[in-house]
Amino acid sequence: MSTNKAIFIDRDGTLVKEVWYLSDEKQLELKPTVPEALKMLREYGFLIVIVTNQSVIGRGIIDHEKLRVIHERLQTLLQQKGARYDHLYYCPHLPEEGCSCRKPAPGLILKAAEDLHIDLKSSYVVGDRLMDVKAAKSLGVRCAVVISTWSSLDGDVRSWGADFLGENLLEVAEWIIRQEQRDTRS
């Protein structure tokens, strides 16, 4: 039975500053407002589930162990600011492999929803790229975009069909909470 609600959130460009092929924990830098936004969402009852494409593994740049170290560092940076994520799912494959877990395919979200008993209709996808929006739309999940320097790589962000566009994660979190408040009044 699906009883939890979650924020399925992208890592690069959404939680942390954009770095091509991030391969070292020293490259991690939280984007402004991230800890505050995650705390707000968790206080509102959401699980924070990172879903991220990590082709750095498929490209042979780093291995799974190094990625684990990077994600431990991310959790540490968040905890130093009073925030945290609950779970993390990643796709190690190259784009051309056509796997079902690499966004825009919804495999990571579906796996997390099954593992964690998440109700997709009560959840949101948040990212900075068109692939995040496509993954959400393929499942009928509401989605928001945090506009990043990478967003422009996919054309006009206004044409993607996201439910909300925000300049930072705090704006997105505030929008999600407004949606939740509106839904409970309905």
Instruction: Give catalytic residues, as residue numbers.
Output: 10, 12
- 3-class SS letters over 45-63: CEEEEEEEECHHHHCCCCC
Helix axes 64-80, 34-43, angle to 10 degrees: 80
Residue length of the chain: 186
Is the Cβ–Cβ distance between 108 and 89 less than 8 Å?
A: yes
Based on its alpha-carbon atoms, the radius of gyration of the chain, rounded to whole angstroms, reads: 15
Count Cα atoms within 13 angstroms, Cβ side, for 140.
4
Which stretches of the chain are assigned E, i.e. beta strand? Answer: 5-9, 46-53, 87-91, 124-127, 142-146, 164-166
